[in-house]
Amino acid sequence: MHHSIHDEPHLSNRNHWLRAAVLGANDGLISTASLLVGVAAANPSSQTMLLTGLAALTAGALSMAAGEYISVSSQADTEKADLTKEQYELTHNADRELFELTKIYETRGLDHTLAHQVAVALTEHDALEAHARDEIGLTDLSQAKPIHASVASGLSFIAGAILPVIGVMVLPAQTLVWSLASITLLGLILLGVISARLGGAPVIPAIVRIISWGAIAMLATSMIGRLFGVVV
């Protein structure tokens, strides 16, 4: 049976969207839950809680999507400028660029003759692609994709934020602070497991990291909410 050289999946291929999705869901869950826990500690009405949650979800998702788009667009602009500069050098200093590529392959363990042969072959095939990959470090998989990152961030923020918002609607008002904190921690555990599985990383460290920061955030906002509630 013939096997493709690409039979073995590489989890790092997911990095360009996994980072944005995990960051968005984590931010959506922790920031929205922390805000609601803090507000709940001041004993507002259920309508105020719901409106607060929906406002946090909407504003947070739009902010996350816009921020990610701007950030990744800046990265894409830098990459484009690097490629333009590299194309100029290939056009005007072809011999020097071939020498640079040869030296790169020599530092990776090839002898000079073989390194030169590889550099010549790749230059003839696609000079800009060879230099983008091996000199600059750009590949199709690693190139910045603003729209992908923006959509992934916004949708994942909503996916994370929706849990505490639903909690506000269904959990009893008398124990809302602790109930919200509990379902948020459960959500963080689930998010830690999912992100670790998708990225092929150890599960326990991922869960510990995400729970620790989530708990700190909720504790801090709860204390602020209680102080606010006492003053009012």
pLDDT digits (tens, 9 = 90+) for 78-100: 888 878 887 887 778 788 888 88
CB burial of residue 42 (10 Å; 0-12, 13-18, 19+): middle
79 lies in a domain?
Answer: yes
Domain that holds residue 97: 14-223
- pLDDT at residue 51 tops 90: yes
138 lies in a domain?
Answer: yes
- pLDDT at residue 8 tops 60: no
156 lies in a domain?
Answer: yes
The tally of domains found in the chain comes to 1
140 lies in a domain?
Answer: yes
pLDDT for res 60: 92
Residue 86 · residue 128 · CB < 8 Å: yes
Separation between Cα atoms, residue 198 and residue 18, nearest integer Å? 8
Give pTM, 2 decimals.
Answer: 0.69
232 lies in a domain?
Answer: no
pLDDT digits (tens, 9 = 90+) for 14-47: 555 666 777 788 889 988 988 888 888 777 888 8
3 lies in a domain?
Answer: no
pLDDT for res 175: 84
Other residues' Cβ atoms within 10 Å of the Cβ of residue 89? 15
29 lies in a domain?
Answer: yes
7 lies in a domain?
Answer: no
